[in-house]
Structure 1
């Protein structure tokens, strides 16, 4: 019970919610993140450090989502080759991978 007194809520969230309604963007990479209404008056930590954490979390999230998108595409390509399905191969080849695109664009900024 005593340890729960020292657990604080995160200062930001990468997803907007009722608890984190205010959008901000990091200075370096312009990554959007959300904070509480009282962020400006309550947050006393280093804004630079916070934004580094935001960018790190965002990059990790994009990397993981990109991995899943590539995995899905590769699975579809394997099925298409295995069953000689030209239409499935075309669909898999043209599969949009927005997280991979965003990760590539962000990597170019770093």
Structure 2
């Protein structure tokens, strides 16, 4: 990704995290009733709002790269494998009190 794409992607993802966390907090209000809101209330995590706040506080920019050179095939393969493992193991609600 180039600098412009990185900026757009990081801002978009941090905003989505913030909205997701804020929705969890808002759904605790009594004005949101119904099976859909109950489902969302049970499957969202307010901690995403904290992570979004930290991202915006620390900054979304990546430090400049000294030398731009394309990745070799092995490094690309490792990157795709890491992304695949991340997708398999991601949990939208990391902690839940039962």
TM-score relative to the length of structure 2:
0.36
Highest RCO, 1 vs 2 (Cα 8 Å, sep ≥ 6): 2
In our comparison, the structure showing a higher alpha carbon Rg is 1
Q: TM-score, normalised by structure 1?
A: 0.33
Greater strand content: 1
Structure with greater helix percent: 2
